[in-house]
Structure formats: C-alpha cells, structure tokens
Structure 1
Amino acid sequence: MEALPLIPGYSFQNPCNHDHKLKQKLDHKDGYRVVRDSFIGTGRRPVDAASSAYSGRHYENFLQYDPSLTYGRNKDYPCRQVIPHYVLFAQKCLKFKAFFRQSVFNSPMEHFRIRHVNIIYFLEDDTMCVIEPSVDNAGLQQGKLVRRGKIPKENSPTFYHWKDLNVGINISIYGVVYHTVDCDTFTEEYMRSQGIDPGNREQPPPDSYTQDRLAKLAVSRASSSRSKKPRPEEDPRRRFLEFDGMVLTFDAIWNEDSYQIMYFLTDDTIAVKEMIRPNSGKDPNRMLLKKTKIPKNWTDLPVWYPSIYLERTDEEVVEYYCPMDLKVGETIFIFGRKFLLLDCDSFTRRYYKNMLGIEQPPRIFPTTSSSSRCLASPHPTSCTSLSKKSKKEDVIRQIFNHPKKLRYLMTMVAVRPEDEGREFILEYSLSHGTIKINELSRKNSGRRAGCFLASRHIPKSHSKLENCDEEVPIYTPRDLYIGAIIDIFSHRFLITGADLFVMKYIEENQDKFPEEVVENMRSYFNRVSVGSSERVEDIKDDHLDNFVKTKKNDCLIPATKQIGLSPDAQKIDSGVPQPQDEQTNPCQKYERDRSLPKQITWADQVQVPCTLMTNT
C-alpha cells in the first residue's frame, strides 16, 4: 500500500494501526532550543514525501548554510500603506464663488436681484451643496439653498465631478444657472496639481437694490451725525465711581396724577414712578417707566425705518435728555406724554447750583388760573385743577324730581345713507340733569333697538371757556325745543316731538325757560291737538312700550291704560267713532280696541305718588 500514488482514491486507512503517538519535535541541545524534524510521523509511520523532501542526508549541509551571513540580507523596500479614498480627502472640499440672477415681479423699483452664493464640492464622496452667505436686513430666506448630495447634470444621467468645475463657467443645478467667478487658494492649488488650469477670476456684478439701500443708509447717518451734538467719550467706569448713587429727583404731574421723575447720573437714564395717593385703589410702588434713555423727539425717525418690529438705537436718536433740560416749571415730553415739573429735592438743587451753576426755581403749585382758552371736553372735570373739590350733589332736587323725566322724539341728521330715518327718544332726568338716548326699532334696518347713549351729562359742542375755573356748559331743558338741532359727541339730532309732560312742566316753570321756548312748545301742542283726529299707531320698543306717535306731526305722546283718571289729567281724543255693535268675534273686537280713542294722562306718564302729583 505504501507504493500506491498519493492521489484521491488511492489512500486508505490501516484499521490495524492503533498507535497514534507523535514524535516530539521540540528539544534542547547544548542549552539551545532546537526543532527535530524527521520523516517519521504519527505511530512511527513515514510521512509524505513532499513535506520531507529536504530531510535527506545530501541536503543537510545545504539547509544548514545561510548565505545572508556571508553577503548580508537584501534591503527590500516595504510596501506602501494603502490609504482609503474617504480618509485621504476627509474634510477637504473645493470652494467656488458664484452668483445667479433672480427675477422680481410686480415691483417698480427693481426687475431682478443678484444673489451671491458659494458652491462647495466635497472630495471625499463627490457631493455638492450651495450656500448663500447671510446679508443684514435682506428680507430673504438665506443660508443653504441646495442640500449636500450628488447633483445630476442637466439632460444627462451622470453626476457632477470636480473635473467639471472651473472658474468662469455656468453650472446648472436644478434649473438655476450659477456663474462661477472665483475660487479659494486650496481649490486653485488642487486643480493645478491635477493638471487643470483654473480660469481667470471675474468681478461679481453688484446688486442695484442693495446699493440703493446702502446709499440711503449712508445719507441718513451723515445727516444724523451732522445734527448730533458732539459727545465727549467718557469711560463708563469712571462715571460709575464718581456718580454712583446720585439721582436727580423731580416731582411732576400728568393727567392729574402725581409722578416722580428720577434722573440717574451714572448712565444718563430716566425712570418715572407714580406716587400713589391713599385710598386711590391703585397698586403701590407702580413704575410707569423703567430706567432707559429718553429721546427728546422720539418720533424723529427715517421714513424707511421699520419701527413696528425694531427698536431705535443710538444711531437713529438725534439727542437724549440731559440734566440741562430738566428745570422746575418747564414741561418735558416722555414718549409723547406731557409732564410738568413742579419741584425737586434738596440734593438736586445743590447739584444744579454747585455743578452746573443753575438756580432751580421754587416749588410750583398747580392752580386753576390760566390765560389760555380751554375747549370743552366730554368730561366736565378735564379742565379743573388738582386742588379743586368735587361739586356737591343737590339732594333736595334728587328727592323732589326723582321719577320725573322729560321725553323728546328725535331723528338723526343723516350724514351717511344708512342713517336715514333713524328715530330716537331723548330722556332728560330732572333729578340728576343727565340725558339718556334710546333708539327705536325699525323693520329690516339691520340695527337693534335699545340704549344708544347711557345716562350722563352731555356738554355743548364748540363751547369755549375764558378760564379753566368755569364749568363746562351742558345741555339743559332750555336748549331742548321743537326744531332744535343738538350735537351729541359729533352726532347731530333734530328734535321733532315732545311728551305731554314736557308742556306741563314748562307751563308750571315758565320763569326757568325763555319765552321763545314756551311759545315754541305751545304752538307745537296746538297743532297736535288740532290734528289729533288722525289715526295713531303704536311705537314698538323693548324699553318704551307705552309711547305712540302720530304720522303727520311726529308727536311723541304717552299712552295710558284704561284706568281712572285724576281731575288734573290732560285728555286728547283721537276722534275715531266707537263701534256700535258689541257682539263681535275676537278678531273684530281686537280691531275695535285698536281704533278706540286713547285718553292721555300726565299722571300715568309721571308715575309718582299722588301727594307729589298734587304739589306739582
């Protein structure tokens, strides 16, 4: 079996072999570690001839000879280490400066804009991105315009490679044409090392709109710098050490309220604090304005300045308030609010006298004397002083005239077409002297009937006062007569009718009314009594269900219920004949009740106890 060739199919295992011992190969000889190799294998069987080809005796001298001991070892150069592509070009990119033209529609100032961008090519993975540098107040969405990725060429399935990029060429990226004008130093050196000559650098075109904005900004800054007073540059730390804790305090008034204006010498800021009076109902320690620099003219800003969402800075403000501008008796404007300086503390007076050489005037007490003319205000107390006491109410008048009211029918003098035909009822309270106006309902008018003006004193329009001590004139029954036009808060009304109680009140108090008003009301009610035979229709109102109006004379007359009348009650018959047939159906009875003559009584209108009614 040993003579068989060692090819597949000719090797067999000997089942009689039970010795599998392997001869030891590692040994020591003369104190050295040696390897004993032989042709004897496992179980002392011969090994393969190929592995022991050089184990013969005639090769022993050849195997033991080492030529490197005689000639030395060959100095072979080591193989160069292989560096991956993504490691070699990590964080290395090519940068090209470019621009593209963006069209602007529906603008008379510009037709296109030039937008400058940077095209960055990453060498590690052959990707590209387009980034637009941010420009201040551009109003456009800037930053990364094209995200990083492989950019396909236009009308081609391939992607852009760095060999396709150069200076002075057009690159189409997703439909936008970019023109490259420059590149950085690394890009230029890399392209030259690869045998590509970069093109000549070009000057990027300017943006006309940006140039116009810069020109306007330069002009505004130049004008503001010329108008500004030269301010010496001071070290804020020196001011802090010198003026720390020093505050100029002034007492001032605005809108009849007391305030304290504090000027901080450390940083030239002003704070305004409201001085709360006892039992005023306001929160204590209320700051109207925190520490800030106050410009003298806070509305003096350029036309183009976006003041809606940007705060003004030192470049826009021409001049701030300084200690020279604060004097007792003068008025300062803090963001449009008018403050009158009344007094200052002792430290402020010493500072002005010793440091600035200015003697502050003595304290000013707010008085009502004034030579100026005051226009009437909707609020009667708007022109009164702080020290003036409120007017006491006439309690006797309120008790005696508690339920009495004078009612007038009015129409609005139409300024707009939709105000045509609007009717109102004016109620004058004899107990308080206030006027209340209710609007009557009208079908398909689109307006809700009800209270048009709450009860209040109504001043006369365009009335002027010679002195602020005088009271503002208000409307009284002397000003209310048929045909009178009254102006109530810029709304003009024409009085067209009156109540029967109005005539009753005028007749009993003729000494309080002019003769013209008495004759006007008498002639009006005479016409009403002559034409009282006409049909009367009800005025439907949620708050005034007890009023009726004639069509011809527009007379407002109070209707009464069918109750007993007092001897002094006035009666007006409509003149409509009463029906003779009493046996009618419900519908005919309802129509008959509507056509019955209605008796008008002053007692039902006044609604007061009989004791007061007989005294009046």
Structure 2
Amino acid sequence: MTTVQVDLKSLPNLPGFSFPAYKERYHKSQTWNVVNNQRIEQKEGFSHDKPKFVKAAKPVDTWRQGSLPNSTTRHVFKNAGDGIQYSELPAWDAFDRHVLRFTGYFKEAVVETNLENHRVRHVKIYYYLEDDTCHIIEPRQDNSGIPQGQLIRRHRFPSPNGGYLKPEDLQVGDMLQVYGRSIMITDCDPFTRSYFEQAGEPQGPAELPESDPFQETREAMKHKEATAPRTYEKIYREVMLGGGHINSDMQQFLEKDKKVLRFYAVMDDVSTPQFERRPFTIMFFLADDQVEIREQYPLNCGRDNFPIFFRKGRMPMGAYRVQGPQSQPRKKSEFVHGHDFHVGQSVTLLGNYNFYIYDADEFTRRYFQEELGEQLADRADVTLPERAVPRAATPPYTGYGSWADSMSSVTHLIPKPPKKDFIKLFRHEGKVLRFKAKFVEPKPEDRDRIFVISFYLQDDTLAIHEPPQRNLGIVTGRFLEKGIHMNQLTGNLFAPNDLLPGNCIKVYNFEFYIMDMDEYSRKVFEDPNAHLRVFDLEAVLQKLRESMRQQYPLVRDVFRRFDSDHDGVLTVQEFQQALEKYGFQLAIEDVLKIMKHFDCRGDGQVSYNEFCDMLLDEDYTTGMMVTKPALNEDFDPNYAERAFMKSAERAETTQVRKAVKELGDVLYKKQGFLTRVFKEIKHVTHEDFVTCEQIQSALEQVGHPFHIEDIQRSVLYVMPDSDLDRVNYLELFKAIVSSFHDIAASR
C-alpha cells in the first residue's frame, strides 16, 4: 500500500470545506513610525503602497539666517544633485500645498442641433504632489447649456502605461488619456514650469486652444451689432413706406438697458424727537423710466434694515392720489423723469417728502455731459457737525485716598486699582526737583520759617519739609507728607512749571511763595536733556555686549527679545529700548552712533546677521584672536536720516500687512460675505470700477467698517499699478482672497 503526501495548504478551498488558520503571532501591528523627527504612517500592513519619501535640499546655516532681509527658503527638488546635501522627508510634509496646474481641452460631439457639430470644452488639471492625486474641473461658462464644474473627482488616475499617473506623464503639447477622454494639454502655470525646470524636464511652449462655433458666436455678440442703429430719419422713411410699426418702449429698453442714473440725496427728518438727516439714493432707470429710492442706513443708526423707501415703479409728479377704476390714466409727461434732477436741487417727491440732491455718480455726470450737454454741479457738503455733548464736570477731590483712586471712581462704574506709569518711573527714578519757599502774608511768628518743596518726577508727587532753625521755637521736620496733591490756585494737580521761582502755590489752605531752586532743578528747566548722564560710548558698547550674552544662552533669543514687531531687523526705536533695558539712557545721537557700529552695511537697520557678528567673538583661526573694530564716535547725519526713514518704512509695512490681513479675514472666512458686498456696490454703481470711498461705504453697510487708509493700503498691495479712484473691485477681492494664505501672521 502506497502512502501519498499531500500538502493541505495547497488544496483549493472547496465549498463547505476549509482548513483552520493557525497564527504564530497575535500582536497588534505597528502602524506609526518616526523618520527625521516626523511622525509617519507605515502602510505596508494595509495596502501595497509604501510611504512616499522625497529628497529635500538642506538650507545652509539656518541658525544664522533671520526672516528678513537674508532669509533662507527650502526648495524641494525631484532629484537632488551630487554636491547638494539633502534629507529624506515624507511627501505630505515636503510637498504640502504644492500643486501642478495644467490647462487643456477636449472635444465633444453635439448631435442635437444643426448649428454646431462639436463643442470644445476647456478644463483645468490639478496634480497634487503630496499624494499623486489629480482632479479635473471645467470652468463655468454662461449660457453654455452643459453641466460644468468638477469633471473628475480627486483620486489617483490610472496611467495608460500601467500603474498610476506620474508628473512625467503630463507634458504641454501631449494628449492625456483618462477614462476614455483625450485631453489636449495646452499650457501650465509658472509654478509648474519652475518645478519641471528644477527637475531637469522643462515644459514646452504654450499652445493656442481651439475654438468652436458656440464660442465664436458668443464672442461675435460682444463686438458686432445685429443691425444698423435706428435713427429718427430711418423711422420716418419706414413710416412713409407703410411700415415702421415699432414698439417705442421695446426700442428704449434695447438701447438703454442696464443704464441707471444715480443721485445721492438727504432728507431732514423733523418728525422724530431728535433732528436727523437721512441719506438716500435716487435711481432712475433709463430703460423704462422707473424710479427707485433706497435709504442708506448709517451703521448702528437704530433703524430696522428695510432699505427700499420707494419700490421700483413710475412715480407720479405732484400730490399723491389714489387711482380708482374710473380715474383717467396719467400721461407720460405727468411722471417723474431723471432729466429733471440736478445736483444742488431740492425736489419734492411722493407728495410731501423733500429731498436735497447733493451728488451723482460718474456715469450720471458723463450721461448729462454727453447726451444732454449739461455739466452737473460739484458735490455739496451735507455732513452735519458733530454734536457737542457737554462733559460732566469732574467732582472735586474729597481728600480721602490718593487722587488716582478718586478719579477711578469717576471714570469707571466699578472702580479699578490705578495703573502706574512704569515707563515714566523707569526714566525718572531718583530725580527730585527742590525749591525754597516761605508763607505768603505770614503771621508775625511765622515770618522766619523756611520750607523746602520737593517734587518727584517719577510719579509727580509733592512733599514739603521744614529744615530746623536755631531758636525758632517751632517743631520742624515733615510739614506735608509725600503724595499727589492739588494746587488750589489752579484747580489742577501740581506740575513742575507751577513751582518756578516767583510763583505762588496753595495746598491745604497754606499759600507759599517760591523763592529759589537748587542747581539741579535749574539745569533741568534750562535743558530738558541735561539730566541725561554722559557715558563713555566704548564702555557702554562693551557692557551692552556682555549683558546681552549673559541674558540668554542663544543669540537668537536675545535678538527676538528686542525685535518687538518680529520683522527680522532692529530699528532705531527698538535699539534705543534695548539700551534703556540695560539702564543706558542715552541721547538719540549717541544711540545712532552705537547702532551704526552694529549696522555694517549702513542701511539704517540692524539685521540678525549683523547683530550676531557684533555680539559674538571671532573663532581662533591662526592662533590669534581677531578683535572687534573700535567704535566711531562721530555723528553721521546722513545715517540718522536713513535710520529714521527705515523705521518709518517698517512701520508702514506693518500697517499694510495688518490691513491686508484684516480685510482678508473678513472676505475669506465669512460665508456669503462677498455676495453681500457685491450687492451693496451694485446699489451704488453698475460699473466694474469704483473708488476706495465706495468700497469703504459698502463694507461699512455690511457691518465691517475700515479706515480709508487701510482700504488704500490693501488696494496698492495686491494691485500696485491701479488707480485709487478707479478700482476694479472684482479683481481686487479676487486677489485678496487668493493671496490670503500668503500673508504671514504676527509671529
């Protein structure tokens, strides 16, 4: 009998019969790992795809480079050269938000009409480098009759050569085969071209896309007229020949459609308990001679937001009366017409509403000039003066507690502890002005009494001391305790100018005559900067370097400590604050001398590299230490001018970044906000160009007021060559939304 060895695992799994699966390891598989300090997911256990790694070039000496002006940027290459140091990073980290964008088209047959036999459909191809996925969208086209938008959702496209689509398969001028469609690639954006140039595979030149009969017809409608314009002579000839049955209303609609005269008016409302000047916009539609009046509600006016004051329709002239079934219809001349309105005119509409027209938009002014031959008057100023609200009188000082405590009860409903002026305390610590005084009209026993009045500049406190005198017969010493006191002659708190010799002061019903002052006080009044100490600038420089090195272990932390606006450079104000932080209260000329020593390039600001070069010592190279250059104590007025100019430029840059960031937050983050803004702008003008004031008014109407300077800064930032009086608001908002993530936030 022969025994046959059969491998049970090689037998197929027949229905109703299977072998038990035996496991040798029952642990839970590990799916995470750390590579180059990056947490990545290991996918070998779940799919056939392995984690994708790419080579990223290492920046040189990144710790020596600041963000401005010599910043380093990491560029990711497909294949790094032999002489470049690189590291492997996960694709989702290196290629985050790196997208290749191509444009192309494909043809689609049209069999439902005899006017065209094919349609050219333009598409955009997006290739995401982080996960090799793609998606194709088709831009929407007006009146195309085809559902457009996302054509193919985002996923990994199969390649005709097997596997998945790679960046090498996308070339300008080639045909892309995907799911039975042949897409001709015609162009790509600048980022895609730079990516392929760095990879050593430059893209070809852009190709012109084809056009179809539908597109040619749409373009012809924009530039060609169907027939010759109708004139009165042509209408007369047609009537004489027995024709000319023209619909005058339809002809007016075809000639003047979308043409609106806009007048800006105000109405003085005296029906309310408080006088109010209400702004309105009077719109006259030339297509059908209808009028619409909209009220422009100011922000936080307290009224319900129902802007339509008179709904669009024909407005009768004169007193308003109800039309019954037997009433005679009004003639066309009895209705209000836009040609009757003028700037500077007071008109009565709807029977008893008196409107004063103070301005008109640019189209209306141009229409009156070209069509009617009339020049409208300039804009009239109708703004009301600010209502002067009398300020309540400050109650007198009660004498209990300090002056700041009493004023806190006046300025706040719930009193708060007063805050000290630490800047003033730091700059004037230990500075005391002393004055010699005596009583005004003293009693016989008080004629020989002499007082010393001390005024402390650090907190504006006052103290009076009576020095001892031989055989005076009066106990001397402290006459008035140190504190903030009020001069009863002026009703204000004591100031240094109140204590000049020859003046009289009164405190707690004691009146003093100031006789003299000490030498230090006299120098302070003669020269306000006389209290500044004279320092040896070379010693100050060495002490500053030593103190900065001892404060933080890293120079980077020291630089960030004094770079208050985080722009990567130190301006003259920031450098002065750094000196004051270490107790050096120098004049601005001395500050500029030390700053010029740090600024090797002489551009008026200290960068991070220059700061490190002056703060750190040179390494030992040839056995001898290289010493730092000596400080030049000559004042350079040209360098001072450059330093202050750079400081002003940095301040303006900060304001521009803040303005664009705030406007981008409103436009990008709020759902449906752009639609509301466009609606408000359409109420002002039907053109695509507006002024910065109109943009500010539209944003204010939707609840987001901006300063006009911030609007102008945002316009010039995203559209440098634009005219502030003629801004294409569609392109402006598009540019702000698209560049929202490019604006760096405050670090």
User: Please, what TM-score do these two structures have when normalized by structure 1?
Assistant: 0.28
